[in-house]
Amino acid sequence: MICAIAEIESNRQPLAQRYDPKSREASVGIMQMLQPTAEWLFRELGYRAFEMEGKPNLLFRPFISVYLGAAYLKWLSNFDGTSRNEEFVVRAYYGGPKKATHKSTTGYWKHYLSVKQSLPSRRLYGTG
């Protein structure tokens, strides 16, 4: 899941940036994380392996971006205390939990499935 999302979000480019004029925020790094989301994961959910507050450039570091992207995916997988399926999690990563079932995230889900299918199987590496 993380590999496919990283491929879609940034083409696996650590220095990727995308400005959203609607939210007036820039998503950055491999996982295209917003700084407020990174700080929320740090402050509210206890993902403190790295000091995030006031350090937006840290999200350009691949390990930190993937760490926080995975943390956010984990949070989404149990959104509102309910175990969520892969489709909900992926669509919520793109559009937020409130838009996980909205038609605006359908294209992202389809793109995710296509990218996921194109990735090498974990079985090639003896872990699946």
Q: What is the pLDDT of residues 55-103, one digit of tens each?
A: 778 999 999 999 999 999 999 999 999 999 999 999 999 999 999 999 9
pLDDT at residue 118, rounded to an integer:
94
Q: How confident is the model at residue 127 (pLDDT cuts 50, 70, 90)?
A: low
Q: How confident is the model at residue 49 (pLDDT cuts 50, 70, 90)?
A: confident
The structural domains of the chain, with segments of one domain joined by +, span 2-118
- Mean pLDDT, range 41-55, rounded to an integer: 84
Rounded distance, CA 8 to CA 2, Å? Answer: 10
Contact 41, 71 (CB under 8 A): yes
CATH number of 2-118: 1.10.530.10
Tokens for 31?
């996982």
Rounded distance, CA 107 to CA 90, Å? Answer: 11
Rounded distance, CA 36 to CA 53, Å? Answer: 9
pLDDT at 52 over 80: no
Contact 37, 16 (CB under 8 A): no
pTM beyond cutoff 0.75? yes
